[in-house]
Structure 1
Amino acid sequence: MVITLGAFLLSLAPATAEGHRLDLIDAFFTATSAACVTGLAVVDTGTHFTVFGQIVVLLLVQIGGLGFTTVGTLISLAFNRRISLRERLVLQESLNHHQIGGLMPLILRVMAYSLTIEAAGALLLFARFARDMPLGQALYFGVFHSISIFNNGGFDLFGRIHGPFSGLAEYAGDPFVNLVVMLLIFLGGIGFIVIADLLGYKQNRRLSLHTKVVLTMSGILTVVGAVILLLIEANNPHTLGPMNWMDRIFASLFHSVSSRSGGVSTVSVVDMEQSSQFLLILLMFIGAAPGSTGGGIKVTVFAILLGAIYAMMRGKQDIVFFRQRLPKASIIKAITQTWLAMFLVISVAMALSALEDVTFLNLLFETTSAFATAGLSLDVTPKLTEISKVLLCAVMFLGRIGPLTLAYAFTSRSKKELLKYPEGKIIIG
């Protein structure tokens, strides 16, 4: 419903610049990308849309980032409507909360965290942009980009100043903008549960296992991704080559963070080496944390997969993180989610390769970006045929709600098994 309403509003004449009215497919694609906080675009947001159209995109990003169940609950609370037990269970699942108690205060805290972080980001970006543009425009740019980046939306308005699809290229050597944007992406990508846990550390003096795994895995992926990007791209004359070493380090860190769902860039992803582009595909596929504004299979799932490999190599029966053993159900769920995601990405990329005259790596990149709601692009999306755009819309939708969630929705309620079959053995390896 949100996507349909957004598509209708974006297709109206007041939403686009004169002579640039969107057709239905492009309006639907943009609304899907915004509501699923992806950032893939068929038109440049800064030049193609009027202020009205840009605000529609921003509202869709905000709703998608907070989560549909969270926004619906806030509306219900505003009208003093009672939240039923069934709705509380849905909220518990959508927020990845471990218990049904305390959900309403958590919802209000999620809203407070979001508005506070977005306001702080807007003020910081406004202070920097005010040096380059009029104060009114700087304030508008600060608010728009703070909301878009924190919610991992990936939409930007700099096409209006530096040319269509230019992104943050002009700020590649600006450490202030780099740090603010990376911090916004990081806070949006670790999830509201982790933020609440960190804020409550002074009182509780402990962090949950989930928070420890998310922070550890996010840190490892960021550092490893940045180091590999720096090694590959350091001598590329079209990306990091012309920069000094400090700017190269910032750019490598920036894209390592942004690739896991941020969707903004300071150097041309198109001009990167193919090995770097494939690394970005892997980072996008892993994605952010559960209960966050990001997508992908999630860093906790990737941690479980690595834990399973380590346990098997050491001859252990259990996966243990921080002296806590993981239940078998979590391991099976992680493996299932990974396989469903791989099947979705690979099958759609193959379908696109049959429909489009584009290299498979480029199509795999766009498909993974759509699934992981990452928003990075190799400039393929605007050139796709209508049927390919519809396929990517479906991938963005599935990536946001999660393929495992969809599988649950179409599966009948599980029943207790009344018998166990005899154990059989299959030769492995």
Structure 2
Amino acid sequence: MSKQYSHPDTVCIHAGKTGLNPHGALATPLYQTSTFVFDSAEQGAARFAGEEPGYIYTRLGNPTTRELELKVAALEGMEDAAATATGMGAVAAATMAFLQQGDHLIASKAIYGCSFALFNHQFARYGIEVSFVDMTDHEAIKQALQANTKMIFAETPINPTLTVLDLDFIGRFAKQHRLVSVIDNTFLTPLLQKPADYGIDLILHSATKYLNGHGDVVAGIIVGSTEHITQIKLTTLKDMGATISPHDAWLIIRGLKTLSVRMERHCQNAQKVAEFLEAHPAVGQVYYPGLKSHPGYKFIGKQMKAAGGVLAFELKGSLDDGRYFINQCKLFSLAVSLGDAESLIQHPASMTHSPYSAEERQMAGISDGLIRISVGLEHVEDLIADLTQALSLMQQKQQRSPLSL
């Protein structure tokens, strides 16, 4: 493990360096290779047998990837990490390494659409039972427990409703019942929330998002104990092959150097945008934990250092009004994903959470009128001006067609 530093801003830049830098380059070397040459047949055999450290094949490990893994592990305050080709690669590898036919998983009723599809549609094919529960209701979690329950999985804040869950309760519940606890920490990053502080076993990130921060990588990462990460790497990650490209790992290492300053601006901008939307007469409700009106506000300064850069809101109008509003935005890019320098806007029901049926979306609290924004790094006055003109045009449309209300 890399030298320990006192502040996460420094960890983002300096942690994880492996020392494999023979020419003294300041930037992390990119080992863009599929395989590694052995000095002898005996050395190759020893590495395959685990008797000698060293690299064999990039699907099994790579020096550039290793620096990324150690850096994120240090940020999360955990022992080790496994980088994956996508965020869903992380979800699949982390869960399937510990679940088998006949096991039971407790999952939050509102999670990312593809995580839901994996659990609800694919796991059933392999005899893994899943209960989706409202994890703000601690009694509901307790009632979902079965003799064959092996794992509990959640996001907090939840995508896209921004509901905040109590990590202290989830961690204690999991330890009490010997469950593997898994938390997706993508929305907040280790700089704003550290699930390990609450006893969580595995922490996931879509590294596509804030960890990279520049919209040019698809990747994931799993963080946990050495024992858990070793099991994941030697089973599901190795055999299913969802390992990260060294070049993508290199790009994320570069992105992490500015994570702290980026998150500060994301949070500042999102807070001002949320306050603007909450005061606007065309907006019905805003979901952002940084607002005092949000139930998750009580976790700010405790479980969460800040509320992050993602918010959601409901317009006063029809689904057609919402689509019209989105189409009028000029500075906000109509795109899924989050955590980029650019501000993004999307419609969860028809986009990121379309794997849910209409009934499942209703149960998860994802209405047809919900709009999600990833607030970027532009000047906040420009962002608010763009929202202002789009809302004004929507209101004018409603006045021309009053039945849309």
- What TM-score, normalized to structure 1? 0.25
Give the structure with the larger helix fraction: 1
Give the structure with the larger strand fraction: 2
- What TM-score, normalized to structure 2? 0.26
